[in-house]
Amino acid sequence: MHSKFIILGSGISGISTAYFLNKAGYESIILDINDPLHGPGSTIRSAGIISHFFPFAEEIRIVQNSLRFYEDLLHSSSEKISYNNSGLLAIYTKSDEQRLSDFTTAMTSANVNYRYLDKPELKKLYPMISISSDELAIISEDSGYFDINHLFNIIFNYIQTQNIRIFTGVQIKKVQNNGSFLFHTNHGDFTSDKVIIAGGAWSDNIANLFNCNIKFDTYYTQAAILSISQQFHKYISSLPILYRLNNGLYGRPFSSSSFLFGDGTTKYLDNPNNFKFRTDESFHKDILNQATKLFPHKSINSIQRSWSGLYTSSQDSRPIIGELNDDLFFLGCFNGLGIMLAPGCSQLLVDSILKNKFPDDYSSFNIERFNNKNI
């Protein structure tokens, strides 16, 4: 079976790349060993947050493009889902102010609305939230979140109505490249002119099939759903996304009676195929401790459930997009923020392939910044 493009990976990176190729009039085939809706991939394990709170204007513009992707696709789909435009409340201290200035400069440059909240205003807007005497707050008003399970099911179902073929459970036995790519798999042979690796934490394993390496750090993130005491349920729907600047704690309303919290700052050094996708007891204790400080007055009941996942980060913690080798491209290293960055970056990749030129405005994402395509 032949296609102009073969995309390796069926998470949000691969799916959105296929979407933009299809819009440009190019067919593609997506191959993945896993089921994107129930497998170990990062997309379905995401918190679904769309944040405009970044220290770089380029990332914010990419997020804005990603949000347009979701809006356009949802407009085309018969299934509907709402975007919860809750805002993002970042909590920081005086010692964070120099770092915070990078965020506010970037948000101003990208025309993102934000404002500082003093403690009386914070208490009035969000009576359930408590911050310590040395902490301050700023809110990014354009940020929000989706129900990721609902969203990705809609996207996956819609993509399959387009000129895009998706094959899961695919084991690639061998790849040959003699002017075009030939994949020998348990589903038969596939051929293509160009290949895009969009495999998340498994991307380096995939690149090895082409005798290439992609150097990135892999981290594991853990998340938990905390049940909230009944007397506080009336506040939950109006709460914003929460983000603590000094340690990366994040959270958002999950349901009318629960709140999601997570973090993702621990490196994972083993092969991703060996990851167990469990949370550890120290995480449970830490997340309950931090949540209880943010939501005091016995508002937290218990952990309902928890999970973990993997994400990748580049040497400079910014996305990597570009040509890894002749007609072999890579898209990834979203630092755990694939839901907000992948669609905008996939659009950038598709445009750069079709125009044979990487836009200067986003040179900070170009794979060539590492001075070697095969990084």
The string of DSSP letters for 8-40 reads E--SHHHHHHHHHHHHTT--EEEEESS-TTTSS
Start-end ranges of CATH 3.30.9.10 in the chain? 86-143+217-313
Per-residue model confidence (pLDDT) at position 78: 82
| Cα angle, residue 240 at apex, residues 141 and 222 outer, rounded to 5° | 120
3-class secondary structure, 183: strand
Cβ proximity of 194 and 201 under 8 Å: no
Prediction pTM value: 0.93
| Token representation of residue 297 | 């007055």
CATH for 86-143+217-313 (3.40.50.2000, 3.40.50.2020, 3.30.9.10, 3.40.50.720): 3.30.9.10
Report the alpha-carbon distance of residue 208 to residue 273 in Å, rounded. Answer: 14
CA atoms within 13 A on the CB side of 197: 28
Per-residue model confidence (pLDDT) at position 202: 92
Mean pLDDT in consecutive groups of 10 residues from the start of the chain, 375 residues: 94 96 95 84 88 96 96 87 92 94 96 95 94 94 93 91 90 91 94 96 92 90 94 93 93 95 88 89 93 88 92 94 94 95 97 93 92 55
Per-residue model confidence (pLDDT) at position 371: 66
Start-end ranges of CATH 3.50.50.60 in the chain? 2-65+148-215+317-370
Per-residue model confidence (pLDDT) at position 311: 94
Per-residue model confidence (pLDDT) at position 307: 93
At the fourth CATH level, the homologous superfamily of domain 2-65+148-215+317-370 is: FAD/NAD(P)-binding domain (3.50.50.60)
Per-residue model confidence (pLDDT) at position 41: 78
Report the alpha-carbon distance of residue 156 to residue 16 in Å, rounded. Answer: 10
Per-residue model confidence (pLDDT) at position 28: 95
